[in-house]
Amino acid sequence: MADTPSPTAAELVASIRDKKISAVSAVRAALERAEQQKDLNAFVILNRDGALAAAALVDAGKTTGALAGLPIVVKDNINTADLPTSGGTPALQNARPTRNAPSLQKLLDAGAIIIGKANMHELAFGITSTNLSSFAGAVKNPYHKTRIPGGSSGGTAAAVAARIVTCGLGSDTGGSTRVPAALTGTVGLRPSVGNGGAERRYDDANLVVPISHTRDTVGPMGRTVADVALLDSVITGSPVALAEPLRGKRLGIPASFWSGLDRELEAVAIAARAKLADAGVVLVDADLPGLFEQNAKVSFPVALHEPVADIPAYLKASGIEGITLADIAAKIASPDVQGAFGAITADVFGAAYPDVMTVQRPALQKLYAAYFRDNRLDGILFPTTIAPAPTIDMEKGSSEMSINGGTPAPTFDTMIRNTDPGSNAGLPGLSLFAGMTAGGLPVGLEIDGPVGSDTKLLGLGLSIEAILGTAPAPNV
Protein backbone atom coordinates (compact mmCIF):
# COMPACT_ATOMS: atom_id res chain seq x y z
CA MET A 1 0.00 0.00 0.00
CA ALA A 2 1.38 3.42 -0.91
CA ASP A 3 2.06 5.53 2.16
CA THR A 4 -0.30 8.36 1.24
CA PRO A 5 -1.62 10.13 4.33
CA SER A 6 -4.94 8.62 5.45
CA PRO A 7 -7.61 11.06 6.59
CA THR A 8 -8.47 11.13 10.28
CA ALA A 9 -12.02 10.29 11.33
CA ALA A 10 -12.81 13.99 11.75
CA GLU A 11 -11.43 14.82 8.28
CA LEU A 12 -13.47 12.03 6.70
CA VAL A 13 -16.67 13.20 8.43
CA ALA A 14 -15.96 16.80 7.32
CA SER A 15 -15.47 15.67 3.69
CA ILE A 16 -18.84 13.89 3.78
CA ARG A 17 -20.57 16.83 5.45
CA ASP A 18 -19.11 19.27 2.90
CA LYS A 19 -20.21 16.96 0.03
CA LYS A 20 -16.63 16.49 -1.17
CA ILE A 21 -17.32 12.76 -1.05
CA SER A 22 -20.52 10.81 -0.44
CA ALA A 23 -21.08 8.59 2.57
CA VAL A 24 -21.91 5.75 0.20
CA SER A 25 -18.53 6.10 -1.54
CA ALA A 26 -16.71 6.21 1.84
CA VAL A 27 -18.49 3.08 3.04
CA ARG A 28 -18.09 1.29 -0.29
CA ALA A 29 -14.34 2.04 -0.25
CA ALA A 30 -14.03 0.65 3.29
CA LEU A 31 -15.91 -2.52 2.31
CA GLU A 32 -13.68 -2.91 -0.77
CA ARG A 33 -10.55 -2.57 1.36
CA ALA A 34 -11.96 -5.19 3.75
CA GLU A 35 -12.50 -7.57 0.81
CA GLN A 36 -9.04 -6.93 -0.63
CA GLN A 37 -7.47 -7.73 2.74
CA LYS A 38 -9.66 -10.68 3.59
CA ASP A 39 -6.62 -12.79 4.41
CA LEU A 40 -5.98 -10.69 7.55
CA ASN A 41 -9.05 -12.40 9.09
CA ALA A 42 -9.92 -9.07 10.68
CA PHE A 43 -13.69 -9.66 10.38
CA VAL A 44 -16.15 -12.26 11.57
CA ILE A 45 -18.90 -10.73 9.43
CA LEU A 46 -19.18 -7.82 6.98
CA ASN A 47 -22.29 -5.66 7.04
CA ARG A 48 -22.41 -4.77 3.33
CA ASP A 49 -26.11 -4.16 2.75
CA GLY A 50 -26.76 -2.58 6.15
CA ALA A 51 -23.76 -0.25 5.89
CA LEU A 52 -24.61 0.93 2.37
CA ALA A 53 -28.25 1.52 3.35
CA ALA A 54 -27.14 3.55 6.38
CA ALA A 55 -24.77 5.57 4.18
CA ALA A 56 -27.57 6.37 1.73
CA LEU A 57 -29.57 7.88 4.62
CA VAL A 58 -26.62 10.15 5.42
CA ASP A 59 -26.37 11.29 1.81
CA ALA A 60 -30.12 11.96 1.74
CA GLY A 61 -29.77 14.20 4.80
CA LYS A 62 -31.89 11.86 6.93
CA THR A 63 -29.01 10.94 9.27
CA THR A 64 -26.92 13.72 10.78
CA GLY A 65 -24.55 14.00 13.71
CA ALA A 66 -20.92 14.41 14.72
CA LEU A 67 -19.95 11.13 13.00
CA ALA A 68 -22.39 11.13 10.06
CA GLY A 69 -21.12 8.69 7.42
CA LEU A 70 -18.04 7.51 9.35
CA PRO A 71 -17.30 3.81 8.68
CA ILE A 72 -16.31 1.96 11.88
CA VAL A 73 -15.67 -1.63 12.96
CA VAL A 74 -17.00 -3.12 16.19
CA LYS A 75 -15.43 -5.98 18.12
CA ASP A 76 -17.67 -9.03 18.01
CA ASN A 77 -18.26 -9.17 21.76
CA ILE A 78 -20.05 -5.79 21.72
CA ASN A 79 -23.82 -6.18 21.28
CA THR A 80 -25.30 -5.24 17.92
CA ALA A 81 -29.05 -5.66 17.43
CA ASP A 82 -28.79 -5.90 13.63
CA LEU A 83 -25.87 -8.33 13.49
CA PRO A 84 -24.93 -11.45 15.46
CA THR A 85 -22.58 -11.03 18.43
CA SER A 86 -20.47 -14.17 18.64
CA GLY A 87 -17.77 -13.31 21.15
CA GLY A 88 -15.63 -15.28 18.70
CA THR A 89 -16.94 -18.57 20.13
CA PRO A 90 -19.00 -21.37 18.51
CA ALA A 91 -21.89 -21.45 21.01
CA LEU A 92 -22.66 -17.78 20.32
CA GLN A 93 -21.93 -17.75 16.58
CA ASN A 94 -25.53 -16.94 15.65
CA ALA A 95 -26.57 -15.18 18.88
CA ARG A 96 -28.70 -12.10 18.24
CA PRO A 97 -28.84 -9.61 21.12
CA THR A 98 -32.05 -7.60 21.39
CA ARG A 99 -30.28 -4.22 21.64
CA ASN A 100 -27.02 -2.42 20.98
CA ALA A 101 -24.44 -1.82 23.72
CA PRO A 102 -24.89 1.77 24.99
CA SER A 103 -21.39 3.00 23.97
CA LEU A 104 -21.99 1.75 20.43
CA GLN A 105 -25.51 3.19 20.40
CA LYS A 106 -24.08 6.67 21.04
CA LEU A 107 -21.79 6.33 18.02
CA LEU A 108 -24.70 5.14 15.86
CA ASP A 109 -26.89 7.99 17.09
CA ALA A 110 -24.11 10.36 15.94
CA GLY A 111 -24.24 8.80 12.44
CA ALA A 112 -21.39 6.25 12.53
CA ILE A 113 -21.84 3.23 10.26
CA ILE A 114 -20.78 -0.33 11.18
CA ILE A 115 -19.09 -2.00 8.21
CA GLY A 116 -18.53 -5.24 10.10
CA LYS A 117 -17.96 -7.12 13.34
CA ALA A 118 -14.27 -7.55 14.10
CA ASN A 119 -12.59 -10.86 14.86
CA MET A 120 -11.08 -11.35 18.32
CA HIS A 121 -9.46 -13.76 20.74
CA GLU A 122 -12.13 -16.32 21.61
CA LEU A 123 -14.38 -14.92 24.39
CA ALA A 124 -11.76 -12.15 24.85
CA PHE A 125 -9.77 -14.56 27.06
CA GLY A 126 -6.32 -13.89 25.61
CA ILE A 127 -4.06 -11.44 23.83
CA THR A 128 -3.07 -13.23 20.61
CA SER A 129 -6.33 -13.30 18.58
CA THR A 130 -5.23 -16.75 17.38
CA ASN A 131 -8.84 -17.93 17.44
CA LEU A 132 -9.31 -21.61 16.61
CA SER A 133 -13.10 -21.33 16.12
CA SER A 134 -13.86 -22.53 12.57
CA PHE A 135 -15.72 -19.35 11.62
CA ALA A 136 -13.11 -16.97 13.04
CA GLY A 137 -9.51 -18.12 12.56
CA ALA A 138 -6.26 -16.40 13.51
CA VAL A 139 -6.14 -12.63 12.96
CA LYS A 140 -2.94 -11.53 11.22
CA ASN A 141 -0.81 -8.46 11.84
CA PRO A 142 -0.89 -6.16 8.78
CA TYR A 143 2.80 -5.29 9.31
CA HIS A 144 3.87 -8.92 9.15
CA LYS A 145 1.22 -11.51 8.37
CA THR A 146 3.11 -14.29 10.16
CA ARG A 147 2.71 -12.31 13.42
CA ILE A 148 -0.16 -11.84 15.86
CA PRO A 149 -1.92 -8.45 15.96
CA GLY A 150 -2.39 -8.71 19.73
CA GLY A 151 -5.70 -9.17 21.45
CA SER A 152 -8.24 -9.65 22.45
CA SER A 153 -9.33 -6.76 20.16
CA GLY A 154 -7.06 -8.01 17.36
CA GLY A 155 -9.58 -7.66 14.53
CA THR A 156 -10.35 -4.02 15.33
CA ALA A 157 -6.63 -3.24 15.53
CA ALA A 158 -5.85 -5.05 12.25
CA ALA A 159 -8.70 -3.30 10.41
CA VAL A 160 -7.52 0.11 11.63
CA ALA A 161 -3.82 -0.58 10.98
CA ALA A 162 -4.58 -1.84 7.46
CA ARG A 163 -6.44 1.45 6.75
CA ILE A 164 -9.74 -0.36 6.19
CA VAL A 165 -11.32 2.13 8.63
CA THR A 166 -9.95 5.01 10.71
CA CYS A 167 -11.34 3.76 14.01
CA GLY A 168 -13.63 1.39 15.87
CA LEU A 169 -14.47 -0.20 19.18
CA GLY A 170 -12.64 -2.84 21.16
CA SER A 171 -12.89 -3.88 24.78
CA ASP A 172 -10.27 -4.10 27.51
CA THR A 173 -10.08 -6.30 30.61
CA GLY A 174 -6.31 -6.62 31.12
CA GLY A 175 -4.88 -4.96 28.02
CA SER A 176 -7.20 -5.86 25.16
CA THR A 177 -7.36 -2.43 23.49
CA ARG A 178 -3.80 -1.42 24.36
CA VAL A 179 -1.83 -4.59 23.53
CA PRO A 180 -3.20 -4.82 19.95
CA ALA A 181 -2.76 -1.06 19.52
CA ALA A 182 0.91 -1.45 20.49
CA LEU A 183 1.52 -4.39 18.16
CA THR A 184 -0.17 -2.76 15.14
CA GLY A 185 1.05 0.84 15.41
CA THR A 186 -2.39 2.16 16.33
CA VAL A 187 -3.95 3.86 19.37
CA GLY A 188 -6.07 2.23 22.07
CA LEU A 189 -7.77 3.74 25.12
CA ARG A 190 -8.80 1.89 28.23
CA PRO A 191 -11.20 4.35 29.89
CA SER A 192 -11.46 4.77 33.67
CA VAL A 193 -13.35 2.03 35.48
CA GLY A 194 -12.34 2.72 39.09
CA ASN A 195 -14.72 1.03 41.50
CA GLY A 196 -17.62 1.25 39.05
CA GLY A 197 -20.57 3.59 39.45
CA ALA A 198 -19.69 7.22 38.84
CA GLU A 199 -16.00 6.34 38.40
CA ARG A 200 -16.79 4.23 35.32
CA ARG A 201 -16.44 6.34 32.15
CA TYR A 202 -18.37 3.99 29.81
CA ASP A 203 -21.30 1.95 31.10
CA ASP A 204 -22.24 -1.07 29.02
CA ALA A 205 -23.36 -3.33 31.87
CA ASN A 206 -24.45 -6.80 30.65
CA LEU A 207 -24.46 -5.75 26.98
CA VAL A 208 -20.91 -6.86 26.07
CA VAL A 209 -19.94 -10.56 26.27
CA PRO A 210 -18.24 -10.35 29.67
CA ILE A 211 -15.23 -11.57 31.53
CA SER A 212 -15.47 -9.39 34.63
CA HIS A 213 -17.82 -6.57 35.60
CA THR A 214 -15.06 -5.22 37.84
CA ARG A 215 -12.47 -5.06 35.06
CA ASP A 216 -14.21 -4.98 31.64
CA THR A 217 -14.74 -1.84 29.62
CA VAL A 218 -15.40 -0.94 25.99
CA GLY A 219 -12.58 1.19 24.57
CA PRO A 220 -12.13 3.21 21.37
CA MET A 221 -9.29 2.35 18.99
CA GLY A 222 -8.00 4.42 16.08
CA ARG A 223 -5.15 5.23 13.77
CA THR A 224 -4.42 8.46 15.67
CA VAL A 225 -5.07 9.85 19.14
CA ALA A 226 -7.46 12.37 17.52
CA ASP A 227 -9.60 9.49 16.19
CA VAL A 228 -9.82 7.94 19.65
CA ALA A 229 -10.53 11.31 21.30
CA LEU A 230 -13.38 11.93 18.84
CA LEU A 231 -15.08 8.61 19.63
CA ASP A 232 -14.53 9.17 23.35
CA SER A 233 -16.19 12.59 23.21
CA VAL A 234 -19.26 11.19 21.44
CA ILE A 235 -19.57 8.27 23.89
CA THR A 236 -19.19 10.51 26.95
CA GLY A 237 -21.05 13.55 25.59
CA SER A 238 -18.09 15.74 26.55
CA PRO A 239 -15.93 18.13 24.50
CA VAL A 240 -13.16 16.55 22.40
CA ALA A 241 -9.86 16.48 24.32
CA LEU A 242 -7.38 19.21 23.38
CA ALA A 243 -3.59 18.89 23.30
CA GLU A 244 -1.97 19.37 26.72
CA PRO A 245 1.32 21.30 26.86
CA LEU A 246 4.08 18.82 27.69
CA ARG A 247 6.64 21.15 29.26
CA GLY A 248 6.77 20.58 33.00
CA LYS A 249 4.46 17.55 32.94
CA ARG A 250 5.71 14.86 35.33
CA LEU A 251 5.65 11.27 34.10
CA GLY A 252 6.74 8.41 36.34
CA ILE A 253 9.28 5.95 34.93
CA PRO A 254 8.99 2.74 37.02
CA ALA A 255 12.12 0.65 36.48
CA SER A 256 10.19 -2.62 36.85
CA PHE A 257 8.04 -1.74 33.80
CA TRP A 258 11.18 -0.95 31.79
CA SER A 259 13.05 -4.15 32.68
CA GLY A 260 13.31 -7.43 30.76
CA LEU A 261 12.46 -5.81 27.43
CA ASP A 262 13.11 -7.18 23.96
CA ARG A 263 16.27 -5.43 22.78
CA GLU A 264 14.81 -3.97 19.56
CA LEU A 265 11.71 -2.71 21.36
CA GLU A 266 13.81 -1.25 24.18
CA ALA A 267 15.85 0.82 21.72
CA VAL A 268 12.67 2.33 20.24
CA ALA A 269 11.08 3.01 23.65
CA ILE A 270 14.19 4.67 25.08
CA ALA A 271 14.57 6.86 21.97
CA ALA A 272 10.90 7.92 22.31
CA ARG A 273 11.40 8.70 25.99
CA ALA A 274 14.42 10.88 25.14
CA LYS A 275 12.34 12.86 22.62
CA LEU A 276 9.75 13.56 25.31
CA ALA A 277 12.45 14.72 27.73
CA ASP A 278 13.73 17.08 24.99
CA ALA A 279 10.18 18.46 24.72
CA GLY A 280 10.26 19.42 28.39
CA VAL A 281 8.58 16.40 30.00
CA VAL A 282 9.97 15.75 33.48
CA LEU A 283 10.74 12.02 33.66
CA VAL A 284 10.60 10.93 37.30
CA ASP A 285 12.65 7.79 38.00
CA ALA A 286 10.60 6.13 40.72
CA ASP A 287 9.72 2.46 40.86
CA LEU A 288 6.55 0.76 42.11
CA PRO A 289 8.04 -1.94 44.34
CA GLY A 290 5.74 -4.87 45.02
CA LEU A 291 3.22 -3.83 42.35
CA PHE A 292 3.47 -6.94 40.16
CA GLU A 293 3.24 -9.18 43.22
CA GLN A 294 0.17 -7.34 44.51
CA ASN A 295 -1.42 -7.43 41.05
CA ALA A 296 -1.00 -11.22 40.94
CA LYS A 297 -3.19 -11.48 44.05
CA VAL A 298 -6.01 -9.73 42.17
CA SER A 299 -5.85 -10.54 38.45
CA PHE A 300 -6.86 -14.18 37.98
CA PRO A 301 -9.13 -14.47 41.05
CA VAL A 302 -11.31 -11.67 39.61
CA ALA A 303 -11.17 -12.74 35.93
CA LEU A 304 -11.80 -16.42 36.65
CA HIS A 305 -14.55 -16.00 39.27
CA GLU A 306 -16.77 -13.17 38.00
CA PRO A 307 -17.76 -14.90 34.71
CA VAL A 308 -19.67 -17.48 36.79
CA ALA A 309 -22.39 -14.87 37.40
CA ASP A 310 -21.56 -12.31 34.70
CA ILE A 311 -22.03 -14.56 31.64
CA PRO A 312 -25.55 -15.73 32.68
CA ALA A 313 -26.44 -12.08 33.49
CA TYR A 314 -25.25 -11.07 30.02
CA LEU A 315 -27.28 -13.78 28.28
CA LYS A 316 -30.41 -12.74 30.15
CA ALA A 317 -29.99 -8.98 29.60
CA SER A 318 -29.24 -9.53 25.90
CA GLY A 319 -32.31 -11.71 25.35
CA ILE A 320 -30.18 -14.68 24.24
CA GLU A 321 -32.20 -17.77 25.10
CA GLY A 322 -31.42 -21.47 25.15
CA ILE A 323 -27.66 -21.01 25.75
CA THR A 324 -26.02 -21.47 29.16
CA LEU A 325 -22.54 -20.90 30.59
CA ALA A 326 -22.05 -24.69 30.41
CA ASP A 327 -23.03 -24.69 26.71
CA ILE A 328 -20.49 -21.96 25.97
CA ALA A 329 -17.74 -23.76 27.89
CA ALA A 330 -18.47 -27.09 26.17
CA LYS A 331 -18.00 -25.68 22.65
CA ILE A 332 -14.87 -23.53 23.14
CA ALA A 333 -12.43 -24.15 20.29
CA SER A 334 -9.17 -22.59 21.52
CA PRO A 335 -7.13 -24.66 24.01
CA ASP A 336 -5.99 -21.68 26.11
CA VAL A 337 -9.60 -20.53 26.54
CA GLN A 338 -10.74 -24.07 27.35
CA GLY A 339 -8.19 -24.05 30.18
CA ALA A 340 -9.48 -20.76 31.58
CA PHE A 341 -13.08 -21.98 31.44
CA GLY A 342 -12.15 -25.15 33.30
CA ALA A 343 -11.15 -22.90 36.21
CA ILE A 344 -14.30 -20.80 35.78
CA THR A 345 -16.82 -23.63 35.69
CA ALA A 346 -15.12 -25.26 38.71
CA ASP A 347 -15.06 -21.79 40.36
CA VAL A 348 -11.59 -22.43 41.74
CA PHE A 349 -11.25 -18.81 42.94
CA GLY A 350 -14.70 -18.55 44.55
CA ALA A 351 -13.36 -18.88 48.09
CA ALA A 352 -10.56 -16.33 47.57
CA TYR A 353 -12.78 -13.73 45.88
CA PRO A 354 -14.17 -11.87 48.94
CA ASP A 355 -10.65 -11.21 50.30
CA VAL A 356 -9.48 -10.13 46.84
CA MET A 357 -12.22 -7.50 46.59
CA THR A 358 -12.14 -6.21 50.17
CA VAL A 359 -8.38 -6.35 50.86
CA GLN A 360 -6.14 -7.12 47.88
CA ARG A 361 -7.65 -4.90 45.17
CA PRO A 362 -7.94 -1.86 47.49
CA ALA A 363 -4.27 -2.44 48.45
CA LEU A 364 -3.31 -2.36 44.75
CA GLN A 365 -5.25 0.88 44.28
CA LYS A 366 -3.53 2.43 47.32
CA LEU A 367 -0.11 1.56 45.86
CA TYR A 368 -0.97 3.54 42.73
CA ALA A 369 -2.58 6.44 44.62
CA ALA A 370 0.55 6.84 46.76
CA TYR A 371 2.78 6.68 43.67
CA PHE A 372 0.88 9.45 41.88
CA ARG A 373 0.64 11.57 45.05
CA ASP A 374 4.14 11.18 46.46
CA ASN A 375 5.83 11.84 43.10
CA ARG A 376 3.35 14.58 42.04
CA LEU A 377 2.76 12.77 38.75
CA ASP A 378 0.56 13.58 35.77
CA GLY A 379 0.94 10.01 34.52
CA ILE A 380 3.08 6.89 34.31
CA LEU A 381 5.04 6.15 31.11
CA PHE A 382 6.13 2.68 29.99
CA PRO A 383 6.33 0.35 26.99
CA THR A 384 2.82 -1.09 26.49
CA THR A 385 4.25 -4.56 25.82
CA ILE A 386 7.71 -5.88 26.61
CA ALA A 387 8.20 -7.32 23.11
CA PRO A 388 6.92 -6.65 19.59
CA ALA A 389 4.43 -9.00 17.95
CA PRO A 390 5.38 -12.70 18.28
CA THR A 391 4.81 -15.29 15.54
CA ILE A 392 1.44 -16.96 14.98
CA ASP A 393 1.50 -20.62 16.00
CA MET A 394 -1.71 -22.43 15.02
CA GLU A 395 -0.60 -25.67 16.67
CA LYS A 396 -0.20 -24.18 20.16
CA GLY A 397 -2.54 -21.25 19.66
CA SER A 398 0.43 -18.82 19.82
CA SER A 399 0.67 -19.68 23.51
CA GLU A 400 4.45 -19.39 23.93
CA MET A 401 7.05 -16.80 23.00
CA SER A 402 10.71 -16.07 23.62
CA ILE A 403 12.38 -12.74 24.37
CA ASN A 404 15.96 -12.16 23.17
CA GLY A 405 16.34 -15.87 22.47
CA GLY A 406 15.50 -16.84 26.05
CA THR A 407 13.46 -19.77 27.36
CA PRO A 408 9.93 -19.83 25.90
CA ALA A 409 7.39 -18.32 28.29
CA PRO A 410 3.58 -18.02 28.23
CA THR A 411 2.63 -15.36 25.68
CA PHE A 412 -0.34 -14.18 27.73
CA ASP A 413 1.58 -13.50 30.96
CA THR A 414 4.48 -11.96 29.03
CA MET A 415 2.42 -9.56 26.94
CA ILE A 416 0.06 -8.31 29.68
CA ARG A 417 2.79 -7.74 32.24
CA ASN A 418 2.72 -3.95 31.91
CA THR A 419 -0.97 -3.43 31.03
CA ASP A 420 -2.61 -5.68 33.61
CA PRO A 421 -1.87 -3.88 36.92
CA GLY A 422 -3.49 -0.59 35.86
CA SER A 423 -6.52 -2.56 34.62
CA ASN A 424 -6.98 -4.23 37.98
CA ALA A 425 -6.73 -0.88 39.75
CA GLY A 426 -9.37 0.59 37.39
CA LEU A 427 -7.02 3.24 35.95
CA PRO A 428 -7.32 4.77 32.48
CA GLY A 429 -4.52 3.92 30.04
CA LEU A 430 -3.65 5.09 26.53
CA SER A 431 -1.32 3.20 24.19
CA LEU A 432 0.10 5.12 21.24
CA PHE A 433 2.75 4.62 18.57
CA ALA A 434 6.37 4.98 19.69
CA GLY A 435 8.25 3.88 16.56
CA MET A 436 9.25 0.85 14.49
CA THR A 437 11.82 -1.79 15.42
CA ALA A 438 14.79 -2.46 13.15
CA GLY A 439 12.81 -5.50 11.97
CA GLY A 440 9.85 -3.36 10.90
CA LEU A 441 7.42 -4.07 13.76
CA PRO A 442 5.49 -1.36 15.62
CA VAL A 443 6.19 -0.49 19.26
CA GLY A 444 3.66 1.05 21.65
CA LEU A 445 4.17 3.44 24.55
CA GLU A 446 1.51 3.71 27.26
CA ILE A 447 0.51 6.47 29.64
CA ASP A 448 -1.62 5.57 32.67
CA GLY A 449 -3.23 8.21 34.86
CA PRO A 450 -5.33 8.43 38.02
CA VAL A 451 -9.00 7.43 37.79
CA GLY A 452 -10.94 10.17 36.01
CA SER A 453 -7.95 11.68 34.18
CA ASP A 454 -9.00 10.30 30.76
CA THR A 455 -9.40 13.67 29.04
CA LYS A 456 -6.00 14.79 30.28
CA LEU A 457 -4.43 11.49 29.13
CA LEU A 458 -5.88 12.01 25.67
CA GLY A 459 -4.55 15.60 25.70
CA LEU A 460 -1.09 14.35 26.65
CA GLY A 461 -1.41 11.69 23.95
CA LEU A 462 -2.18 14.30 21.29
CA SER A 463 0.98 16.23 22.20
CA ILE A 464 3.16 13.11 22.48
CA GLU A 465 1.92 11.89 19.09
CA ALA A 466 2.82 15.26 17.57
CA ILE A 467 6.42 14.53 18.63
CA LEU A 468 6.67 10.78 17.97
CA GLY A 469 4.52 10.71 14.82
CA THR A 470 2.12 8.04 13.57
CA ALA A 471 2.90 4.64 12.10
CA PRO A 472 3.70 4.28 8.39
CA ALA A 473 1.10 2.34 6.44
CA PRO A 474 1.79 -1.41 6.28
CA ASN A 475 2.65 -2.95 2.89
CA VAL A 476 -0.50 -5.04 2.73
Query: Which residues are the active-site residues?
Result: 75, 152, 176
| Cis preceding-peptide flag for 399 (omega within 30 of 0) | no
Spatial CA neighbour of 138 closest among 404, 391, 412, 417: 391
Using CA atoms, how far residue 104 sits from 45, 78, 134, 273, 369, in Å, is 17, 8, 27, 35, 31
d(CA 40, CA 133): 15
Using CA atoms, how far residue 241 sits from 140, 230, 233, 237, 463, in Å, is 32, 8, 8, 12, 11
Spatial CA neighbour of 160 closest among 69, 80, 108, 224: 224
d(CA 386, CA 411): 11
Spatial CA neighbour of 414 closest among 131, 251, 174: 174
